[in-house]
Amino acid sequence: MYRKKRRGVSTILGTIIFIGIMFTSVIPMWLVMKQADVLYERKKLEMARLDEEREREVLELYAFPRSFNEPQWLNVTAYNQCEFPINLLRLWVNDTDIPLSVTVPSMGSVNVYNLEINASEGSSYQIRATSERGNVYVSETGTLSYNGGEWETETLGINLIFPSRPGQGKRGNDWRNELEITIAQDDVEIFEDVVMYWAISASEMFFELGAPGTYNVTVWIKQPDNDPYLGVIYGPERAPNAGSAPITIDWPDGPAVLDVNFVIVNDPGDEHLEIDE
- CATH classification of the domain holding 123: 2.60.40
Looking at the structure, do residues 162 and 271 belong to the same domain, yes or no?
Answer: yes
Looking at the structure, do residues 14 and 71 belong to the same domain, yes or no?
Answer: no
Q: pTM of the entire structure? A: 0.55
Looking at the structure, do residues 110 and 164 belong to the same domain, yes or no?
Answer: no
Pairing of strands 157-162, 257-267: parallel
- The total number of structural domains in the chain stands at 3
Looking at the structure, do residues 40 and 142 belong to the same domain, yes or no?
Answer: no
CA distance 111 to 74: 11
Domain limit, last residue, from 16, 32, 55: 55
Looking at the structure, do residues 96 and 31 belong to the same domain, yes or no?
Answer: no
Q: Does residue 130 contact residue 121 with C-beta atoms inside 8 Å?
A: no
Of residues 273, 178, 192, the one with CA closest to residue 222: 178
Cα angle 154, 93, 139; round to 5: 40
Q: Average per-residue pLDDT in the chain? A: 80
| Domain hosting residue 81, numbered range | 59-152
Looking at the structure, do residues 100 and 178 belong to the same domain, yes or no?
Answer: no
Looking at the structure, do residues 271 and 168 belong to the same domain, yes or no?
Answer: yes
More confident: 179 or 42:
179
Domain limit, last residue, from 99, 134, 152: 152
Looking at the structure, do residues 268 and 214 belong to the same domain, yes or no?
Answer: yes
Looking at the structure, do residues 35 and 128 belong to the same domain, yes or no?
Answer: no
Pairing of strands 213-221, 178-185: antiparallel
At 227, the pLDDT band (50, 70, 90 cuts) reads: low
Looking at the structure, do residues 271 and 162 belong to the same domain, yes or no?
Answer: yes
Could you say which DSSP state residue 26 is in? I
Question: Does the pLDDT at position 30 exceed 60?
Answer: yes
Q: Does residue 258 contact residue 158 with C-beta atoms inside 8 Å?
A: yes
Residues with Cβ within 8 Å of 132's Cβ and at least 6 positions away in sequence, in order, are 86, 87, 88, 89
Q: Does residue 271 contact residue 277 with C-beta atoms inside 8 Å?
A: no
CA distance 162 to 181: 12
Which pLDDT tens digit goes with each residue over 8-29?
566 777 777 777 766 676 667 7
Helix, strand, coil percent content, the chain, rounded in steps of 5: 20, 45, 35
Looking at the structure, do residues 79 and 44 belong to the same domain, yes or no?
Answer: no
Q: Does residue 276 contact residue 267 with C-beta atoms inside 8 Å?
A: no
Looking at the structure, do residues 37 and 117 belong to the same domain, yes or no?
Answer: no
Question: Does the pLDDT at position 112 exceed 80?
Answer: yes
Domain limit, last residue, from 55, 74, 92: 55
More confident: 64 or 268:
64
